[in-house]
C-alpha cells in the first residue's frame, strides 16, 4: 500500500465530522470488578460529546490473550452513533480508560478498562495512533461473538462477513455473564 493512499484515506476520514458515523467499540476488563467496570463504561460511552449509544452486547467472560497469569476478562461490544472524528473518538476513549485508572504495565496485561475502536463505518484508517478495522479483531472470538450478537450481518473491510469469520473461530471458552439489556 502506498503512503499516499493512507494519507488520502485518513484525510477523507477527518473531513466527515459533521455526519453521523456508526462505530463499534470493544470493551474489556479483568481488574477491580470487571462486570461493574464495563457496565459503568457502557453508560459513559452514551455520555460522550456528540455521541449516542445505540446497542450493547451481553457481557462475556473470556480467557486472557497473551500472559495467562492474570484473571479472566469480561468483554462486550457497543454500537455508537457519533459525529466525532476517529481521532477525537480515540482521545475520548483513552480519557475514559484513564478515568478508570488504566495502567499499561505490559502488553496484553491486566487492565481495569480497555476500549478499542473496532469499526468506524466501513472505513479503513491507518495512522500512527489508530488502525481501523482493529488489527486483531478477526482472530478474537471475544470480539466477534458480541459483535455478531449486535449485528450478524456486519462485515470487516478486507476480511469478510462476521458470521463467516466467526464460523472458523473457537468460542467455546466464552460464557455469557449478563444478557444485553
Residues classed as catalytic: 102, 111, 114, 116
The pairs formed by 129-132 with CB atoms below 8 angstroms and a separation of 24 or more are: 129/87, 129/90, 130/86, 130/87, 130/90, 132/86
Place of cell 488520502: 8
Query: How would DSSP label each residue in 75-144?
Result: EEEEEEEE-S-HHHHHHHHHHHHHHTT----STT---S-EEEEEEETT--EE-SS-EES-TTGGG-HHHH
Strand 160-161 and strand 155-156: the pairing is antiparallel
Do residues 84 and 130 make contact, with C-beta atoms less than 8 angstroms apart? no
Amino acid at each position: 500500500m502506498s503512503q499516499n493512499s493512507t494519507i488520502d484515506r485518513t484525510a477523507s476520514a477527518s473531513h466527515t465530522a459533521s455526519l453521523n458515523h456508526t462505530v463499534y467499540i470493544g470493551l474489556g476488563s479483568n481488574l477491580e470488578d470487571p462486570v461493574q467496570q464495563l457496565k459503568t463504561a457502557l453508560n459513559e460511552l452514551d455520555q460522550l460529546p456528540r455521541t449516542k449509544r445505540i446497542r450493547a452486547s451481553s457481557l462475556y467472560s473470556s480467557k486472557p490473550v497473551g500472559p495467562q497469569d492474570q484473571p479472566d476478562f469480561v468483554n462486550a461490544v457497543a454500537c455508537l452513533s457519533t459525529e466525532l472524528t476517529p481521532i477525537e473518538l480515540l482521545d475520548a476513549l483513552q480519557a475514559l480508560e484513564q478515568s478508570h485508572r488504566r495502567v499499561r504495565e505490559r502488553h496484553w496485561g491486566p487492565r481495569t478498562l480497555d476500549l478499542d475502536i473496532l469499526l468506524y463505518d466501513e472505513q479503513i484508517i491507518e495512522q500512527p495512533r489508530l488502525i481501523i478495522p482493529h488489527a486483531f479483531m478477526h482472530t478474537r472470538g471475544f470480539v466477534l461473538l458480541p459483535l455478531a450478537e449486535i449485528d450478524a450481518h456486519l462485515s470487516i473491510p478486507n476480511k469478510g462477513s462476521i458470521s463467516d469469520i466467526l464460523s472458523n473461530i473457537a468460542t467455546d471458552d466464552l460464557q455469557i455473564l449478563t444478557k444485553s439489556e
